Amino acid sequence: QNSMVLSSAIFITLIGLIIYLHFVKIDQESLLVIGSLGIQVTSSYASGKESTTFIEMGQVKDVVINEAIHMQKVIYYLCILLQDPGDPQGVSEVVPLFQSSKPRLDCLIEVYKSCQEILEQRKTAPQSS
């Protein structure tokens, strides 16, 4: 009787761990910005599974560093602001980046500067029709 309960508990724990590793535990996050195409955000899970999101450059209004206060601590994170199709001056959505890895502010500043350089090149490049 007790061994059956113990075996069931171990089995459920293992299944829970596998689900956690496959769907929750993010091992690595990457950001690829191509000025003429868009921004690709990839999350690699501990199980090896990858999740990729692509945002077209026409939807990107800006990339900013945002801050939040959490438990007496200021947390900085990088965000993509998506342009509102109905209002060119408005923002329709804020997409936070690097939520699992939580890089330090100095690392975020380096990524921010690189993104801004690419966005600036896109604005100054002649538009082809």
pLDDT over 60 at 129, yes or no: no
In the numeric block, which tokens belong to residue 77?
A: 């994170």
In the numeric block, which tokens belong to residue 16?
A: 């829970």
pLDDT over 90 at 3, yes or no: no
In the numeric block, which tokens belong to residue 122?
A: 């896109």
What is the per-residue DSSP string for 25-85? -EEEEEEEEETTTEEEEEEEETTS-EEEEEEEGGGEEEEEEEEEE-SS-EEEEEEEEEEPS
pLDDT tens for each residue of 15-59: 988 888 777 778 899 999 998 899 999 999 877 888 999 999 989
Q: Locate the domains of the chain by residue range.
A: 1-124
pTM for the model: 0.74
